[in-house]
Amino acid sequence: MRYEKSKSIGITIGIVISIFLIGQQLSTLNFLKSLMCSISTHTNRELADIWVITDQSTNLNAVTPINSSLVNELKSIDGVEETFPVVYATTMMKFSNGQFSSVLLIGSEDPILILRPNGDEVLDGKVSNLSHPRSIALDKHDQKGFKHPVDMGMDVELNGKHAKVEVLMNHVRGYGASFCYTSLNNAREFTGMSPNLVSAIIIKADNHSEISDVCNRINRSFPGIRAWDRNELEKRTIKTILRESNMGVSFGSLVIFAVISGFFIIGLTLYTSTFDRVKDYGTLKAIGATNGYISRLVLLQAFLYAVVGYVIAVILLFMMKFGVAKSGLSLIIPPELLVELFLLTTFISVGGSFFAVAKLKKLEPASVFK
């Protein structure tokens, strides 16, 4: 490593590029997966234990309305503490400059408003304002997509009906559509949905440890609908979208390509570096070094390359994360991803070094003195 600086730099750069690309792809995929289930994410998590939707749907973003009479009927199921009807539908929004944009209008019963922005997600205004007639919440950062500023008190039209922005949200994003929150009554007025229908029903269970039992009781008692544990529905929604959109294949193929290319590029570079100094390794063998010692020496070099390359790649990844945050792209880099990236780095670097190890095992000490 010390005497082959150019090759050491080349190997390190190869590792950095491979791991940075893999990390960027996986953290972007994590961000997209968070958007896929953001309808469920932005709820009162203490109340939203179970979601009830049609039994034909496995995607929370695409549901068929169900009968609102179920809101009261489900209360008869043992283990159900409370039920909350919700309505959401794609709606056209018109701005004062004549621009149109599609938004997902989301309404829930006031004053609880189980579907809503929480905590730091509220930039201005109070969530309770959504109970006011024709009041809505929009995300400040959606103005780029709207091609119109988003400000408190702004007047817009939803399906031709007047609405007023009384809550500004901060980075509350949806998958494929901007979110627009309001009360249940307002949502019905804007969308024209019948009082006899709801998009879904959210249930609070008496006991969190019995959620699966409550879901089973509902599924046995009511045909045409299905009760889901909130976390299970989020996972199923992500799987459905990844499968139907081929997004998983796209991201997966890019990651696999980066791993394979990194493995062989780094492996061949280590091989040529070893071949250039084959006389030194031959000398070590001539004075008594075993194949095991030589192999450990090469593998140690490869591991050191992996550590250095990993650290640089992660630093660049976090720099990118903070650099693109203002644009609305929030790369999600959980601790488990960092562990996975380190294991991949070790595999690429140490695995690639076996090309050199195989060469050195066949090396005859006497051949280097000819």
Is the dihedral angle over the CA atoms 147, 148, 152, 158 positive or is it negative? negative
The pLDDT score that the predictor gives to residue 256 is: 86
Phi-psi region of 164 (alpha: psi -120 to 50; beta: other; left: phi over 0): beta
Q: How far is CA 44 from CA 20, 39, 204, 206, in A?
A: 36, 11, 10, 16
The mean per-residue pLDDT over the stretch 266-289 comes to 70
Q: 38-47, 123-132, 143-152, 285-294: lowest mean pLDDT where?
A: 285-294
- The pLDDT tens digits for 161-207 are 999 999 999 888 888 889 999 999 999 999 989 999 999 999 999 88
**Closest residue by Cα to residue 180 from 108, 275, 265, 257:** 108
The mean per-residue pLDDT over the stretch 322-338 comes to 82
What is the tally of helices (H) and strands (E) in the chain? Answer: 12, 12
The pLDDT score that the predictor gives to residue 232 is: 93
Four-CA torsion 297, 300, 301, 303, nearest 10 degrees: 160
For residue 48, pLDDT over 70 is answered with yes
The pLDDT score that the predictor gives to residue 153 is: 92
CA 49 – CA 35 distance, rounded (Å): 19
CA 239 – CA 80 distance, rounded (Å): 28
CA 16 – CA 195 distance, rounded (Å): 57
The mean per-residue pLDDT over the stretch 335-347 comes to 90
**Closest residue by Cα to residue 197 from 69, 67, 52:** 67
Name residues whose C-beta falls within 8 Å of residue 182's C-beta, 6 or more positions apart in sequence: 105, 106, 107, 130, 135, 136, 137, 163, 190
Residue ranges of alpha helices (H) inside 79-209 are 143-146, 184-191
